[in-house]
Structure 1
Amino acid sequence: MTAEAVVTSPFAGSADDGERPLRIALLTYKGNPFCGGQGVYVRHLSRELVRLGHSVEVIGAQPYPVLDTGATLTELPSLDLYRSPDPFRTPGRDEYRDWIDALEVATMWTGGFPEPLTFSLRARRHLRERAGEFDVIHDNQTLGYGLLGDLGAPLVTTIHHPITVDRKLDLDAAQGRVKRASVRRWYAFTRMQGRVARKLPSVLTVSGSSKQEIGDHLGVQDERIHVVHIGADTDLWSPDPSVAEVPGRIVTTSSADVPLKGLVFLVEALAKLRTEQPDAHLVVVGKRAEQGPVARAIETYGLQDAVRFVKGITDAELVDLVRSAQVACVPSLYEGFSLPAAEAMATGTPLVATTGGAIPEVTGTDGETCLAVPPGDAGALAAALGRMLGDPQLRARVGAAGRERVLTRFTWAAAAKGTAAHYRAAIEQAARARRAR
């Protein structure tokens, strides 16, 4: 399968008009859109499903989802052990409610990540108490043991990409036996996710690349995995000529020291680029790491005044930041889809991106809708950024073509229609199984 291939399910994009509205429970153990792509997915998919006429109840844990008008939120609280400003906290005695809370703390104390399992157990209890209230249950990559068996409605699960990919990259970056052992313990939940995924009747994913990875890493049968592309909010992420372009500005969205995001290679590329284009500078949407490879690279190359991190800005401020950049960049080693790429393209900002994972499936052809470079290659990244910064005609052409690609292929309205069609297929499949019994 080529990265550029457009892979769609047999139901994706089918009309939803005239069908009975569905009652949908959308589960998310980590739903805040400022914490990553899963939260963005929940926010925009729920809004567009409501616009199609469906009833959507999002059931989530901390950090709670941010939802648009229409969808409702039911809070299913965890102990919130990783909250800011006291992550890995020890809860007080009066905070424990049941054995699931005790399991959550014990898993954290032994170096594991408990939330997928413990959220699934709480969700199972909650859904069984409300059996008959929903037509379909949609799990957003929890993949916990609690979601196996009868939940009172058919289950559809989205896997954005297998977390085993993150695990491998983190292990490759870990130095020393102690650090590698810690990484293995943290990612122990991925064994559970693989076991659960292989038992699921219907799996949705967001790209052809992710479909391949889910089969390879998790052992899910190909015929049970269906691709429904996600997209950008093209009303919000749109061009605005009134926003002044800042010479030399490069913008990226990245968690500073997550190896998968490749930010350290972008910092190295910036150092190379500034020898020829001294006004080049980088704005990173994400939290600054005070220690680690990125912090060391910034200090080593003397880029303290050329790299700025921003966090906690509004949607409107974020869009204007991207609009103000001469180039947007996605330096990731791997992505299951890359929402930042689609969103930047939707603003008409020209994009430089790697070919890691599903990124080319989103960004399109090198030289037409983006400039593409191999992942982990700082030299190639510097050359592409320099080419884009130095050629206003290229920026205008690539930016316009990128927005057109998003408008025709990657919108949330299309994602909602394709997803709703899969809900109906799952409901029919469950009905046939009942009749057979």
Structure 2
Amino acid sequence: MNIQTPLPDAAAPASADALPLRILLTGYRSHPHVGGQGVYLRELARALRDLGHQVTVASGPPYPELDAGIALVKLPSLDLFETENAFKAFRPGFLTRWADFCEWASHNTGGFGEPYAFGERLARYLATHHGDFDVIHDNQTLASAFARINRRIPVVATIHHPVAIDRDFALASAEKRVDRWLTRRWYGFTGMQARTAASLSGLLAVSAAARDSHARIYGLDRSRISVAFNGIDHDVFRPDPSTQREAGLIAATASADVPIKGVDVLMEAFCDLAGKRPDLRLELIGRLREGKAKARLDASGLSDRVICRSGVTREEIADLYRRATLVACPARFEGFGFPAAEAMACGAPVVASDGGALPEVVGDAGLVVPAGDSGAFASAMARVLDGPDLARRLGETGTARARQEFDWRRHAEAAVKLYRRALAKC
């Protein structure tokens, strides 16, 4: 009888599911501190690298901050938002560079052409580098070029929330016909994103709300969309028993003062409460633009009790969350809601709207009220401000929930499953 001795594990050939992949992560802009795009790419790149994969990031400016061992391919845009006179930025060379011409022309006619132009620049780069990567993972650029790229290299995309929702909230708040026309023009790229999303090899939603809203608004097949919560950096966002919470301090974070973020709801609720509470104050990570929120604050005479800060580090945000009596998350819709998750990780009680994924993120670790209802938001904040036992329970529950649910490694593992599924179909 011929008995074969099995090979030791170290000598056994690796299965296809164990082989490391060469992954290209893409984002049309990836600011390392504002808006979450750069944070997402940095953290996903790190988690994929830690799983043993070779990771490269391709981005337009502003560029992300990446760990050692993760390559960055810079695909410069015209960066017209930082140009004093975008119309005069035209150069004759644009006539031979389609991406540059489209970005310039779109910007100067009221559109937002950066995603489309980034896709064209990426396609040009990949024309000579497509053999360097096994799979591409796009962070909701969803430019037309990705449909073409997907014919040669599998493309998976993360979807946060349909930007068409931002468009609809902006349209609802526009008072003049010209403002509505300009809004439709600006958000014209959403049709491109819907078409591209339907053509890709895989989609990864950061919440069930992100999945369901894309399926409903963009007509995507819900069964084709995987779901995995974002992670958070638990080394930065964590409790600190040595930090004392400051009585009457409300904290909030808004990447932009636009209708979807609900800053106007928060300001209405704060002003209602602050008139009867002389110690109440608000610290907002973000800026107030001319609009409903600022007008309400100016009319209340409470401007000296609201501090707006920008350009802060993650460590400073975490410190604010550890000092605050509560963290307010009033958005009318969130595809995930980093401020809520990060505040919970710091042990802060959270008061949130039921906009989008916020109820999924908060769970039983906060108070959730109807989106857009400033009266309900004020009542919920008052419950936390006046209930130290409730605040302590919510904080403890939030810390435990954040540690259990929001893990970048788990998110990266879900992404890798999509990569391998897409590659298996090639």
Which category describes the TM-score, using the shorter chain as reference length?
Answer: over 0.9
Structure 1 pair 155/233, CA: closer, same or farther in 2 (3 Å)? same
Residue of structure 1 in register with 2:425 after alignment: 429
Say yes or no: does 1:401 pair with 2:397: yes
How far, CA to CA, are the matches of 1:356 and 1:194 in structure 2?
Answer: 21
SS in 1 for 2:107: helix
Residue of structure 1 in register with 2:346 after alignment: 347
After TM superposition, give the deviation of residue 423 of structure 1 in Å: 1.2
Residue of structure 2 in register with 1:327 after alignment: 326
SS in 2 for 1:68: coil
Aligned AA (1:75): K
Residue of structure 2 in register with 1:4 after alignment: none
Residue of structure 2 in register with 1:50 after alignment: 49
Q: Which of 386, 389, 394 is residue 390 of structure 1 equivalent to? A: 386
Structure 1 pair 86/413, CA: closer, same or farther in 2 (3 Å)? farther
How far, CA to CA, are the matches of 2:270 and 2:18 in structure 1?
Answer: 53
**1:82–1:89 Cα contact (<8 Å) kept:** no
SS in 1 for 2:89: coil
Q: Residues 369-415 of structure 1: CA distance to partner in whole angstroms, max 9, x if unpaired?
A: 10111111111111111111112211111001011111111111211
After TM superposition, give the deviation of residue 109 of structure 1 in Å: 1.1
Say yes or no: does 1:144 pair with 2:143: yes
Q: Residues 302-344 of structure 1: CA distance to partner in whole angstroms, max 9, x if unpaired?
A: 1211111111122211211111111011000010110111000
How far, CA to CA, are the matches of 1:183 and 1:70 in structure 2?
Answer: 41
Residue of structure 2 in register with 1:372 after alignment: 368
Identity of aligned residues (%): 43
**Residue correspondence of structure 1 range 112-123 to structure 2 within 5 A:** 112-123=111-122
Residue of structure 2 in register with 1:93 after alignment: 91
Say yes or no: does 1:316 pair with 2:315: yes
Aligned AA (2:223): E
Residue of structure 2 in register with 1:171 after alignment: 171
How far, CA to CA, are the matches of 2:206 and 2:79 in structure 1?
Answer: 28
After TM superposition, give the deviation of residue 49 of structure 1 in Å: 0.9
SS in 2 for 1:129: coil
**1:21–1:55 Cα contact (<8 Å) kept:** yes
Residue of structure 2 in register with 1:239 after alignment: 239
Q: Residues 127-177 of structure 1: CA distance to partner in whole angstroms, max 9, x if unpaired?
A: 121021111101111111111124542111111111111111110111110
After TM superposition, give the deviation of residue 288 of structure 1 in Å: 3.3
After TM superposition, give the deviation of residue 223 of structure 1 in Å: 2.1
**Residue correspondence of structure 1 range 34-45 to structure 2 within 5 A:** 34-45=33-44
Residue of structure 2 in register with 1:183 after alignment: 183
SS in 2 for 1:137: strand
Structure 1 pair 204/248, CA: closer, same or farther in 2 (3 Å)? same
Say yes or no: does 1:268 pair with 2:268: yes
After TM superposition, give the deviation of residue 233 of structure 1 in Å: 1.1
Q: Which of 401, 410, 414 is residue 406 of structure 2 equivalent to? A: 410
Structure 1 pair 18/411, CA: closer, same or farther in 2 (3 Å)? same
Which of structures 1 and 2 has the larger relative contact order (alpha carbons within 8 angstroms, sep 6+)?
A: 1
SS in 2 for 1:241: coil
**1:256–1:294 Cα contact (<8 Å) kept:** no
How far, CA to CA, are the matches of 1:419 and 1:146 in structure 2?
Answer: 21
Q: Residues 162-196 of structure 1: CA distance to partner in whole angstroms, max 9, x if unpaired?
A: 11111111101111101000000000111111111
Aligned AA (1:425): R
Residue of structure 1 in register with 2:157 after alignment: 157
Aligned AA (2:81): Y
**1:356–1:374 Cα contact (<8 Å) kept:** yes
Q: Which has the larger radius of gyration?
A: 2
Say yes or no: does 1:381 pair with 2:377: yes
Aligned AA (1:408): Q
Residue of structure 2 in register with 1:64 after alignment: 63
SS in 1 for 2:315: helix
Residue of structure 1 in register with 2:7 after alignment: none
Structure 1 pair 95/239, CA: closer, same or farther in 2 (3 Å)? farther
Aligned AA (1:119): F
SS in 2 for 1:242: coil
Q: Residues 7-40 of structure 1: CA distance to partner in whole angstroms, max 9, x if unpaired?
A: xxxxxxxxx9981111110010011132312222
Structure 1 pair 287/149, CA: closer, same or farther in 2 (3 Å)? same
RMSD, aligned CA: 1.8
Say yes or no: does 1:226 pair with 2:235: no
Structure 1 pair 190/416, CA: closer, same or farther in 2 (3 Å)? same
**Residue correspondence of structure 1 range 92-111 to structure 2 within 5 A:** 93=91, 96=94, 98-111=97-110
Residue of structure 2 in register with 1:3 after alignment: none
How far, CA to CA, are the matches of 2:178 and 2:185 in structure 1?
Answer: 11
Residue of structure 2 in register with 1:13 after alignment: none
**2:254–2:261 Cα contact (<8 Å) kept:** yes
Residue of structure 2 in register with 1:199 after alignment: 199
SS in 2 for 1:246: coil
**1:47–1:70 Cα contact (<8 Å) kept:** no
How far, CA to CA, are the matches of 1:392 and 1:95 in structure 2?
Answer: 64
SS in 2 for 1:138: strand
Unaligned runs of 5+ in 1: 1-15, 431-437
After TM superposition, give the deviation of residue 90 of structure 1 in Å: 3.7
How far, CA to CA, are the matches of 1:191 and 1:316 in structure 2?
Answer: 38
- The number of residues matched between the two structures is 410
How far, CA to CA, are the matches of 1:192 and 1:404 in structure 2?
Answer: 40
**1:167–1:187 Cα contact (<8 Å) kept:** yes
How far, CA to CA, are the matches of 2:42 and 2:78 in structure 1?
Answer: 23
Say yes or no: does 1:251 pair with 2:247: no
Q: Residues 233-267 of structure 1: CA distance to partner in whole angstroms, max 9, x if unpaired?
A: 11210001222322111111114531000011111
After TM superposition, give the deviation of residue 94 of structure 1 in Å: 7.2
How far, CA to CA, are the matches of 1:311 and 1:187 in structure 2?
Answer: 26
SS in 1 for 2:352: strand
How far, CA to CA, are the matches of 2:108 and 2:115 in structure 1?
Answer: 16
